[in-house]
Structures are given as C-alpha cells and as structure tokens.
Structure 1
Amino acid sequence: MVARQGRRFQLSSTRLVLLCSLALVVLYNLATWEALANLVTLEGVKRAGFYLSFGLFLWAAFTVLLTLVSFRPLLKPVITLVALCSAAAAYFMNNYGIAIDTVMIQNVVETNPGEAKALLSPKLFGYLLVLGVLPSALIWWLPVHYRRFLPGLVNKVLVIAAALLVVGASVGAFYSTYAPIFRQEDKLTHFINPTNYLYAVTKLAKSRYAVKQNVVVQPVGTDAVLTAQAKAQPKKNLMIFVVGETARADHFSLNGYARETNPELKKLDILNFTRVSSCGTSTAVSVPCMFSMFPRSDYSDKKGKTYEGLLDILQRAGVQTVWLDNNSDCKGTCLRIPHQDIPKDQKSPFCDGTNCLDESLLVGLQAYIDGLKDNAIIVLHADGSHGPEYYDRYPKDKEQFQPVCRTNQLGSCSHEELVNVYDNTILYTDFFLSKVVALLKQNQDKYDTSMIYVSDHGESLGENGMYLHAAPYAIAPDAQTHVPMVMWFGQDTLAQEGIDRACLKAKQDEGDLSHDNIFHSVLGLFQVQTGVYQSGLDMFHDCRRALTASQ
C-alpha cells in the first residue's frame, strides 16, 4: 500500500521491506557480486540468467529476514542498525578486499582504541553518511502503515512464503551452478552483506557465552618439572621470544626476496627457517594458538580461553616468565603470568604519545635481566608491520624505500608505494631483532641465551584486490599464512642443550614447520619434562645428541 499523507507518501511495512531488501542487493553487496564473478563458469545468456537468479535469491532472502522484524516497534530501528552496520561492512570489503567471518568479528571485538583509530578515514565516514545515515533519516521521515496485528501476521506469513518460493525457484533453475558455489562457502557467503556479519556475531556470541559458562581454566602440564640435566647446567637459560606482527616470509631477503630487507640479521649467525605456516590469519587466533598445546587442526577460541598454555607450564616448572606488549594485547595468553603493556605516553625517544616503536620493548630490560635468579623467558609482542598505517611502525631514518604510502586508504596508493612502506617495516624489524641479539650477547657470560622470532601471520598488499589480513584460512593466500621464523643462540647454548647446530642448519629448508611446533620446541629447549610434551613436534628433538636418550 502506498498512500499520500499531506505532502508525504505513506509506505506499507511490506513495501518498505521490499525496497530495503532491494537496496541491500544493489548498493551494499558490490563485494559479493565481484566474488561471484570469479566463481561462475557460465557464459553468455546463461551467465546473465544466473546473475538475475542470484539477485532474486538475495532479494527474497533479505525480504524473509526483514519481514520477521517488520512490526511497528522493531522495523525502523532494525533497518537503521542494519544500514549503518552494512555501510561499514561494505566499506571494508570494497576497499580492503576482506571477507567477514567469525574471526574478523573477533578481531573487531578485541581491537584496541589505537588500532580502531588507524582504520578511520574520510572515506569511511562518507560510506556511513551515504549508505547509513541518509537512508536511515529517510526511513524515519517517511510514515509507515502497519496492518492490525492479525491481518498483519497473515500478510507476513504470505510474504515469507512467497519469498521462499522465489528462493526455491532461483536456486532450482541453476542448481548445478549454486551447489558448488555454496559448498565452498568461504568463497562467497562471507561477502554477503548483512548476513555475513549477522551470522558471525551470533556464532561468536554463542561461543563466548559457552566460555563464560565454563570459566574455569583447565590446568595443563601439572606434572611439569625441569629435567636433572637442566638443573645441573652451570648457567641458567635466558630466552627472548619475539612475537612478530604481520610479517610475510616472502618479504624477508633471508628467504630470497630481491630487496635487502635483512641487512642486520644477515651479519649474525642465525638459523632461518624458510617454510613456516601460521595457525591463523589474525592476531586474535594465531597468538593464543601458537602458545597452545592444541594444533591448528584442533584449536578453537574456546580451547584457547579455557586451557592453560606454554607460559603457564614454563612458570609451573620454575621458569621465570614475563610478557611485554607493544601491540593490542596478548589475547589471553599472558593472563596468569606477569605482563605489562608499554605505555604509549611514557617519556621515551621511541614513543610519541600515540604509538611506540618496538625498541621501546627493550627500555629497562637489562635491569630486569639483572634481577633474574632462575631460567627465564621474556616474550616481546612487537608492533612489527601492523597495518594499515605502516608508515607509523618505523623511525624516519629507516625509510630506505621510497616513495611510500602515507594513508590508511591502501587502495589509493600505487603498488610501489605500498610495497615500499611495508618493506620499511620489515627493515625496522630486522634492526629491532639485531638489538635483541645485542642485548642477549651482553648477557651470555651469565646465561645460556637464545632468541626466537616468529610472526603471528602475514599480510596481503593488494594482490587480487586483497589488503591487510584475517581472510578465512581455507582461502587465505600464502601471503597471509607463510611467516618468517628466525632463531639466534648464544655461543654455548646449543652445546649445553646437546643440540647439533649443523643438524639444525640442514633442516632450515626441509619439511613444513608451523606454529604447532612452538609449544613443544620451547618446552624441549628449556628441558621441561611433562606428559603433554610431544617429541615429534619438537623441531630440535632429532638434532639432540646426549639428551635424546633421556627425554
């Protein structure tokens, strides 16, 4: 029903639902249509017919969802919320090529104010204004006619039934094309706006609720003790474990990248493992996963939050632990050990009140080391190559590659500018790691020292229209899952551990390693004896000499 009321038209609730559903299909789902174009193999008239069918399918599906809330108290508030959220979702999908799934929503929920601020831009506000605020204002301005309850309920049932018939007819006409597309749901459904974020939010909320219902953290490795060999060693072990951020292995010159992005590490006697895969494509997944006893195939957010991890076991075995953070946070990994965020407003040459360079993690660290009495692991969670404001991750004297992209609107930069600014972050990471090694060298007379660096995930730099990270793992490009891992050991460390360095060196390019190996390898390096240790996942086990028989 459309009637004139004064100077304004009055829409029926049904027509408003149909118009809003059509707007969602046409205006908010450009990323969906682009994804669909890469999946459909039909040609000519059949291809055009399928697109028409898919448009009708979406329109009918959205109509069903909005009809369910098309009651007087709900319809306008719900449409307003959907318009605003869908405008934001459209912006990020259109401009960064991202898909929206549970992991992406988890990233949003766990993003700190600094990270959120880095994503703000005039273009985002433009999307919110044009696709969010203005349509919402129009909807609130228009009078809407609602039927009485019983006739209205009957009408809603009929509308839903008709919409479901359209869904069935659309899919049925091209079933052989729809079936393979929806079997590979990561390639399409994570782009359909707004059902992508509605489903992801619901799934995450359900998972978080389940965790809250079982808030007791399950102890792991309660039998953990240092071996007799570890206790008998003349020097204590000191490891600095650097959790990198957003570094992709193929931009490390150590791994064959044409540019020299690792000039400092190249000078050091390091071990560089070239074939390492991440546990996830986002910090929220990869960081807790790499410290978990669960492999990627068996890991979940719930398990990450309800089971102790590597650092808990090390602490229980008598290893002093501390987590220093220059990133978002430890994603629950450090909650039961001493931990500290680097204050952004501290008086330091490495901080400007908003951001801190990773060298800030080393300020005062020697004093902490001087106070150690036992074996120790220091975890440094670096800011690394965190985007989209890559230009804030390094000092200006490390801006070797120019010109650079100086905006968070990555699509507006040339590929050369984007690669240049990203490579400068890798160059600074190289410099930072060399400073970590220098600190450890100062202490190798007192300790058996070591450094392990591994990135949490990689990064897309515009390849195939994709930027940043957090793509669904099943379809994530290698750029987001192939990560660098570099190790340095003090002059006596490997000998004290009974590990053959030549054997390790021969393994740098062999086999496929992943974050799954970290839990067991670090336990092995500290010679922690526990039932949860698996020698098959300890990357050093096969290179042990004297200790092999006793492990």
Structure 2
Amino acid sequence: MSQPRSAQAAIVGLSIYLLLAANWPLWLALARIGGAPSVYMRSIGAMAVLTVAGTVALLSLTAWTRWMKPLWFAVVLLAAVAQHYMLTYRVVMDPSMAANALQTDLHEARDLMSWRMLIDVLLVCAPAGWWLLRVQVPPMRAWRQLWRNGAMLAVAVTVAAGGAALMSRELAPLMRNHVTLRYMMNPLASVYSAGAVVVKPLFRHRRQLIPISGGAALGASYAAQARPPMFVVVVGETARADHFALNGYGRDTTPGLAGRGVTSWRNVHSCGTNTLASVPCMFSSLGKAGYEGSRDDHENLLDVAQAAGLAVLWIDNQSGCKGVCDRVPNASASEGLSSDVKDVLCDGDECLDDVMLRNIDQRIAALPAERRARGVLLVMHQMGSHGPAYAKRSAPDVKRFTPECKTNVLADCSHGELMNAYDNSIAHTDRFLSRTIDWLQAQSSRYDTGMLYMSDHGESLGEYGLFLHGLPYNIAPDVQKHVPMVVWFGDGLRAREKLSTACLRSDQDVALTHDNLYHTVLGVMDVQTPTYKPALDAFAHCKATS
C-alpha cells in the first residue's frame, strides 16, 4: 500500500472502498424492496455501477496531488456520518435533511451524538485514513494531470450513462417507485444535498422582502373595548396528533388539557416535515403552495399584527424562529434566568418548556405600553418532543409511562420503551399548555385571553422502519404530517369574538392545515388587512353576526 500511485488510481480505489463500506443503507433497502435474492442482487449490481461511477466522476475533480488527502478524508468522514444516520434513524440525505443539519444548533447536535456513532464512523474512517496516510501520490505536471482527470471524468460519466441505459429496464421502475433510493447513494447524495443548500442559493435570484402589512388596522372591536385581547400562539415541536388523548389515543397523555375546556381538532396537517420548512410557512399569508413557489421572502403574521398596532413578542425555546421573528421583539427563553431556575429546568443550554413561563410578565411589561393597551400577540416556540432524546423532553414527575428509552440510538430500545419516552414528552407538553392556560386565566382581569397550540410537524416512531422526521413531503408517511391543534378561549375573549363553543366543537373533524393559522389568528385578534381570507379562518363561521 505504500507504493506510489497516481491521484487517479487513488480516487478509483477510494471510490470502490466507499461503495463497499459506506453504502449499506442502500444495499439493505434494495434487499427489502426486492424480496428474493435473484431479484435484489440485480438491483444492487445496477446501483453499484451507478454509485461507483458517480463517485469517481465526483472525486475526479480533486485528483491532483497528495495535498488533496485531507479533502478525500473529509469525503470519507461525511459518508461515514451519513451512513450512521441512515442506518440508525432510516433518514435519507436529501436537500431538506442537509438544510436541517446546517440549521442544527449545538444542543440539538449533542442529542444525536452517541458511542454507537463514534464506533460506526471509526469503522469506515479508520481503514481509509490509515491507507491515505501511507499511500504515496507522486507529483505530476499540471497539463498531464488535467488531461488524465478529464479522461477519468469522461470515462466515469460514460460508464454511468451507459450503465443506466443498459439497465433502464431494471432501474427505471425502481427509481420511479422508490424515490428515496437516489438519496441513499453515498457519498453522492450527501455532497449533492449539501451543495444544493450551500451553493445553489449563490446563483439564485436574490430574495427580497415583500411587504404585506400595508393597510393593516385594528377592527371595530377595539373602539370600546373594556380589556385588550391577549392571544398566545404555541408552536409545538414534533408532536403527533394520534398521540394526544384528546384525539382518541388510548393512553391518557393530555389529562391537564382535558380538564380545562379546550377544543382539539383531529384532522390537521402540516406545511412541511421539518421545522425549517414548516415554521415560516405556517406564519405566511401565502399558504403552502404559494410559500414554496415564491422567489422572494414576504412579511408574515407577526409583521401584520405589529403594523396594526399590537404588541408582539416571540419567546424561543428552540433553535431559532427561522426568520419569522426577525422584525418583532423576540427573546430566548433561557435569557435572564437565575441559577436556581436553571438548576431545576435546564440541562446545560437546553431547558424544559416550562422555562418560557418564567419572567414572562416582565418580558411583556417591557413591550411598549401604548401597544399593550391595544392588545398582545405572544408566540412561544417549544422544544416539545424533539427527538431522538425524547427522555430529555419531560420532567421526572411527568414520567408516567415507564420504562422509557433513554438513549438516542432508538433502534437499541424496544418499541414499548420508545413509545413511553415519546408519550412522556407529550404529557409534558400537556402540562406546559395547561400551565399556560392557568397563567392566561390569571391575566383575565386585565386582558381577554386565549391560546392556540399547533405543532410544526409530526414524527416517525418506527413505522415502516422509519424514525424522526424530515422525509420529502410527497413521500413522507402521514405521521410526519398529521399534527395536533388545540384551542382554549377565556370567557372574555369568547364573548368579545361572539364565538359559539358548540359550533367549534362540531368542527373538530374538519380538515385544516397550516394554511389556516395566519387567517385564524388575524380573525381572533380582529386585524383588518387585504391579505386576510375569511374562508381560511377556522373560526369565522362560528362567530355570531349580530
């Protein structure tokens, strides 16, 4: 192995190694799809040709001198990490997953680390790293190197194209019926997806902020109000509608909400399957189709409410608001906490959602008095049931379902332990929402209060061998898109809005989506704006007209 080898030979050897060592998720998926070995071995052979040819073509761009070794090792490391997550959580390396990875903060990344990950990565990286240290890549004249690299790229592309044509009868239906396979070709999928997230925006139309808050004004209900409205929107995290007892789940995960007169909608679906896609979309006036198709950024619900004259505040216990709160007052939930509170509610930089109710009165009091006198729109962004460390999302006194999965390597837990840990996180959300309602009731002498809770997306908990979330929307299972929505109105706000509780509860099975949030909240707050659509206001038809 210490004999001199050209950069091109090193690239071919490294590509074959990655094919064999870092593509097990692809081989296992093909075996599950194919059934009999006589079927799936042909598919594996076809995909192997495409994968190795594509990897050679990709790495041919780096086949220059021995100084490329760190870059080659970085590709091996990327492939090893990607394989670990594909095997452990059954995710695929599509652009949305790459965007999630780049948006992940330190404490979220820490939840994904484990000894299993270290072992899995070392098994792939150690042999390649040892070989890269030993192999000698002699220098070569630049023009000769360029010619050889061009020839290798041409051969690799020809092999890939010829192989795809010759095996089209095998590959065409396979790739058409199982789209995720293209995002399991390692390291091609990871490099492509990372490039799509990082490089493509550099060549795209430069996004501009389109104002939509012009003409926003407060409605007639403010003219002679006895008390200003205070409405809380809680953005949930990774909550599944089918794990809420309010929606018929067999376990009593929501006893607090059940005792507080809430209304729960059972047929609500998200805009995306990850936070980065869903949160900006759910606050947008454009709806899912319009938001995803827009070439520019637009002002959102919070901008419109603020332009109308309301006090607006975003409190975050997550990895940021994804741009939604950039132009309104916002704060991290952990800011300004005493050490005593942090000792109880926080583990390092990560805190239970209860922390958002600490110092909340002081945060609201710091908003402009003239705006507070008109009304307050408060948004709280949960940590919720963010995985895979579900056990960290609930306090010890909430853990009613035991034993629970306490590792982030979910495949190491039994299904029952995984369900226990996840359901405990839902139970903690129930307690947090219940305490939020109690706090709102305590404000009823000064404000007309209400709360709307809606999760950003759902979660896979082992169904079809999938875990976590983030699959492309059109192929993601329903559990990653079916989300809970819970509403509570105090007597003052219900009377102010002339809402019929019986009407609201008769609509619990009406199909709603994130598209409804913008218009529903504007309707509750009686904000008049050209972008408001009564047909998308989930409560509009339950208001008395006189």
Contiguous gaps of at least 5 residues in structure 2: none
Residue 119 of structure 1 corresponds to which residue in structure 2?
Answer: 112
Give the total of aligned pairs: 537
Q: 1: CA distance between counterparts of 2:425 and 2:107?
A: 18
Q: 2: CA distance between counterparts of 1:130 and 1:352?
A: 31
Q: 1: CA distance between counterparts of 2:11 and 2:358?
A: 58
Alignment of 1:505 with 2:505, yes or no, is yes
SS at match of 1:10: coil
Contact 2:234 2:452 in 1 (8 A): yes
Residue 467 of structure 2 corresponds to which residue in structure 1?
Answer: 467
> CA offsets per residue over residues 491-523 of structure 1, 9 Å max, x none?
13223213332222111112x211110011111
Alignment of 1:28 with 2:22, yes or no, is yes
Alignment of 1:94 with 2:87, yes or no, is yes
Alignment of 1:324 with 2:323, yes or no, is no
Tell me which amino acid in the other structure corresponds to 2:440: L
Q: 1: CA distance between counterparts of 2:196 and 2:349?
A: 33
241, 257, 261: which one aligns with 2:233: 241
Alignment of 1:351 with 2:343, yes or no, is no
Alignment of 1:110 with 2:109, yes or no, is no
SS at match of 1:64: helix
Contiguous gaps of at least 5 residues in structure 1: none
Residue 41 of structure 2 corresponds to which residue in structure 1?
Answer: 48
Cα distance, 1:486 vs structure 2: 0.3
Residue 272 of structure 2 corresponds to which residue in structure 1?
Answer: 280
SS at match of 1:518: helix
Contact 1:321 1:377 in 2 (8 A): yes
Task: Identify which range, 159-168 or 58-67, moves more after superposition.
Answer: 159-168
Residue 243 of structure 2 corresponds to which residue in structure 1?
Answer: 251
Alignment of 1:64 with 2:63, yes or no, is no
Q: 1: CA distance between counterparts of 2:58 and 2:355?
A: 50
Q: 1: CA distance between counterparts of 2:464 and 2:77?
A: 27
Task: Identify which range, 413-422 or 23-32, moves more after superposition.
Answer: 23-32
SS at match of 2:491: coil
Residue 529 of structure 2 corresponds to which residue in structure 1?
Answer: 530
Residue 360 of structure 1 corresponds to which residue in structure 2?
Answer: 355
Q: 1: CA distance between counterparts of 2:445 and 2:24?
A: 61
Q: 2: CA distance between counterparts of 1:530 and 1:50?
A: 56
Q: 1: CA distance between counterparts of 2:519 and 2:300?
A: 11
Alignment of 1:260-299 (within 5 A): 260-299=252-291
Distance 1:395 1:293, change over 3 A: same
Q: 2: CA distance between counterparts of 1:137 and 1:301?
A: 47
SS at match of 2:70: helix
Tell me which amino acid in the other structure corresponds to 1:458: G
Residue 180 of structure 2 corresponds to which residue in structure 1?
Answer: 187
Q: 2: CA distance between counterparts of 1:385 and 1:434?
A: 16
Contact 1:146 1:152 in 2 (8 A): no
Contact 1:181 1:187 in 2 (8 A): no
Q: 2: CA distance between counterparts of 1:210 and 1:273?
A: 42
Q: 1: CA distance between counterparts of 2:81 and 2:195?
A: 18
> CA offsets per residue over residues 465-514 of structure 1, 9 Å max, x none?
2211111112111121111110000113223213332222111112x211
Task: Identify which range, 481-490 or 369-378, moves more after superposition.
Answer: 369-378
Q: 2: CA distance between counterparts of 1:108 and 1:167?
A: 29
Q: 1: CA distance between counterparts of 2:133 and 2:417?
A: 44
Contact 1:386 1:393 in 2 (8 A): yes
Cα distance, 1:343 vs structure 2: 2.0
Q: 2: CA distance between counterparts of 1:506 and 1:442?
A: 28
Cα distance, 1:315 vs structure 2: 0.5
CA RMSD of aligned residues (A): 2.3
Q: 2: CA distance between counterparts of 1:227 and 1:160?
A: 65
Tell me which amino acid in the other structure corresponds to 1:66: L
Alignment of 1:201 with 2:191, yes or no, is no
Cα distance, 1:440 vs structure 2: 1.1
Alignment of 1:385-404 (within 5 A): 385-404=385-404
Please report the TM-score for the alignment, with normalisation by the length of structure 1: 0.92
Q: 2: CA distance between counterparts of 1:440 and 1:133?
A: 56
Tell me which amino acid in the other structure corresponds to 1:337: V
Contact 1:458 1:480 in 2 (8 A): yes
Contact 1:324 1:380 in 2 (8 A): yes
> CA offsets per residue over residues 286-330 of structure 1, 9 Å max, x none?
111111112112324976x83211001001101111011111111
SS at match of 1:259: coil
Q: 2: CA distance between counterparts of 1:423 and 1:324?
A: 25
Tell me which amino acid in the other structure corresponds to 2:319: S
Contact 1:186 1:472 in 2 (8 A): no
Tell me which amino acid in the other structure corresponds to 1:94: L
Residue 486 of structure 1 corresponds to which residue in structure 2?
Answer: 486
Distance 1:528 1:152, change over 3 A: same
SS at match of 1:9: coil
> CA offsets per residue over residues 8-67 of structure 1, 9 Å max, x none?
3222323222211111211111112233335458x6645433322221221122112222
Please report the TM-score for the alignment, with normalisation by the length of structure 2: 0.92
Contact 1:40 1:177 in 2 (8 A): no
SS at match of 2:407: coil
Contact 2:66 2:136 in 1 (8 A): no
Cα distance, 1:415 vs structure 2: 1.0
Task: Identify which range, 204-213 or 395-404, moves more after superposition.
Answer: 204-213
Contact 2:50 2:163 in 1 (8 A): yes
Task: Identify which range, 140-149 or 278-287, moves more after superposition.
Answer: 140-149
149, 152, 170: which one aligns with 1:177: 170
> CA offsets per residue over residues 155-196 of structure 1, 9 Å max, x none?
334433333333233222331332233345742112221121
Tell me which amino acid in the other structure corresponds to 2:537: D
Tell me which amino acid in the other structure corresponds to 1:32: L
Distance 1:89 1:148, change over 3 A: same
Tell me which amino acid in the other structure corresponds to 1:190: Y
Residue 307 of structure 1 corresponds to which residue in structure 2?
Answer: 298
